[in-house]
Structure 1
Amino acid sequence: MTDVTDTADAPGREERKGRTPFVVRLVRQPAGAIGLAIVVALVAIALLADQIAPYSPIKMAAGRPLTSPSFEHLLGTDEFGRDMFSRIVHGARLTLQIGLIAVGISLTVGTLIGLVAAYAGGFVEKLLMRSTDVVFSFTETLIALAFVAVLGPSLENAMIAVGIAGVPFYARTCYASALGEEGKPYFEASIAAGAGHARLLFLHLLPNVVPTMIVIATLGLSNAILAAAALSFLGLGAQPPTPEWGAMLSAGRDFFNRAPWLMLYPGLAIALTVLAFNILGDALREALDPRSKDRS
Structure 2
Amino acid sequence: MRSTLGTLLWRVCLGALLVCGIGLLPWFSHTDPALTVLKARSADRDPTPEVLADIRAQLGLRDGPLRLLGEWLGGLPRGDAGRSWISGAEVMPGVLHALGVSLLLMAVALVAAGCTAALLCARTLRTGLPRRTAGSASAVLAALPEFLTASVLATVVGVQLGWLPALGWYGPAWTVLPALALGLPAGAVLGRLLDDLLPGAFAEPWALAAAARGLPRRSIARQALRRCLPGLLPNIGLFVVGLTGGSVAVEQVFDIPGLGRTTLQAALAQDLPVLQAGTLVLVLLAAVTTGATRLAAWRLVGPALRDGALSSLHRPQPPVRGILHGVYGTTLFVVIALGLPRDPLALDTTARLQAPSPSHPFGTDALGRDMLARIAHGALDTLALALAISGAALLTGVVLGLLPRFSGPVVDTVNAVPPVLVALLATAASGSGPLTPALAVTAVAWAPLAAHTSALLRQERATLHLTATRALGAGPWHMLRHELLPAVLPPVTRHALLRLPGVALALASLGFLGLGAQPPSPEWGLLLAENQPYAERAPWAVLAPAAVLALLGALAVAAAGGGARRPRRPRRPWRARRPRHRTATETDADQPLAREPELASTR
Q: Which residue of 2 aligns with 1:129?
A: 408
Describe how 1:105-120 pairs up with structure 2 within 5 A.
105-117=392-404
**Partner of residue 562 from structure 2, selected from 277, 280, 284:** 284
8 A contact 1:218–1:277 mirrored in 2:
no
Q: Which residue of 2 aligns with 1:18?
A: none
The structural deviation recorded for 1:79 is 4.5
> Alignment identity in percent?
29
8 A contact 1:145–1:231 mirrored in 2:
no
| Helix, strand or coil at the partner of 1:284 | coil
Describe how 1:175-254 pairs up with structure 2 within 5 A.
175-252=454-531
8 A contact 1:46–1:90 mirrored in 2:
no
Are residues 194 and 50 of structure 1, via their aligned partners in 2, closer, same or farther at CA, if it must alter by over 3 Å? same
Describe how 1:1-296 pairs up with structure 2 within 5 A.
29-32=132-135, 41-44=327-330, 46-47=332-333, 51-53=337-339, 55-61=341-347, 64-66=350-352, 68-69=354-355, 70-117=357-404, 125=405, 127-144=406-423, 146-147=425-426, 150-252=429-531, 261-270=540-549, 272-273=550-551, 276=554, 284=562, 293-295=590-592
The one-letter amino acid paired with 2:133 is P
| Helix, strand or coil at the partner of 1:169 | helix
The one-letter amino acid paired with 2:490 is P
Are residues 229 and 293 of structure 1, via their aligned partners in 2, closer, same or farther at CA, if it must alter by over 3 Å? farther
The structural deviation recorded for 1:168 is 1.7
State the superposition RMSD in angstroms: 4.1
Q: Deviations over 1:232-273 (max 9, x none)?
A: 223322233321222123333566677554344334444x34
The structural deviation recorded for 1:115 is 1.4
Distance 2:502 2:485 in 1: 24
8 A contact 1:29–1:283 mirrored in 2:
no
Distance 1:33 1:249 in 2: 22
Distance 2:588 2:562 in 1: 13
The structural deviation recorded for 1:108 is 0.8
The structural deviation recorded for 1:131 is 2.2
Q: Deviations over 1:102-143 (max 9, x none)?
A: 2212111011111133xxxxxxx2x33222222223345544
Equivalenced residues, count: 262
Are residues 115 and 82 of structure 1, via their aligned partners in 2, closer, same or farther at CA, if it must alter by over 3 Å? same
8 A contact 1:110–1:169 mirrored in 2:
yes
The structural deviation recorded for 1:204 is 2.1
The one-letter amino acid paired with 2:344 is I
The structural deviation recorded for 1:63 is 8.2
Distance 2:589 2:429 in 1: 47
Task: Compute the TM-score of the two structures, normalised by the length of structure 2.
Answer: 0.37
Distance 1:193 1:227 in 2: 47
8 A contact 1:75–1:261 mirrored in 2:
yes
Q: Relative CO higher for 1 or 2, CA cutoff 8 Å, sep ≥ 6?
A: 1
Are residues 105 and 293 of structure 1, via their aligned partners in 2, closer, same or farther at CA, if it must alter by over 3 Å? farther
8 A contact 1:109–1:167 mirrored in 2:
yes
Distance 1:165 1:211 in 2: 21
Distance 1:195 1:62 in 2: 69
Structure whose alpha-carbon radius of gyration is higher: 2
Distance 1:133 1:199 in 2: 30
| Helix, strand or coil at the partner of 2:505 | helix
Are residues 171 and 199 of structure 1, via their aligned partners in 2, closer, same or farther at CA, if it must alter by over 3 Å? same
Greater alpha carbon shift after TM alignment, 220-229 vs 192-201: 192-201
Distance 1:150 1:76 in 2: 40
Point out where structure 1 has 5 or more consecutive residues left out of the alignment. Answer: 1-24, 118-124
Greater alpha carbon shift after TM alignment, 249-258 vs 33-42: 33-42
Distance 2:506 2:348 in 1: 30
Q: Which residue of 1 aligns with 2:183?
A: none
Are residues 281 and 192 of structure 1, via their aligned partners in 2, closer, same or farther at CA, if it must alter by over 3 Å? same
Distance 1:291 1:220 in 2: 32
Distance 1:253 1:137 in 2: 28
The one-letter amino acid paired with 1:209 is V
Q: Deviations over 1:77-103 (max 9, x none)?
A: 335443111212333444433432222
Point out where structure 2 has 5 or more consecutive residues left out of the alignment. Answer: 1-128, 140-321, 568-586, 594-603
Are residues 274 and 47 of structure 1, via their aligned partners in 2, closer, same or farther at CA, if it must alter by over 3 Å? closer
| Helix, strand or coil at the partner of 2:387 | helix
The structural deviation recorded for 1:216 is 1.6
8 A contact 2:441–2:503 mirrored in 1:
yes
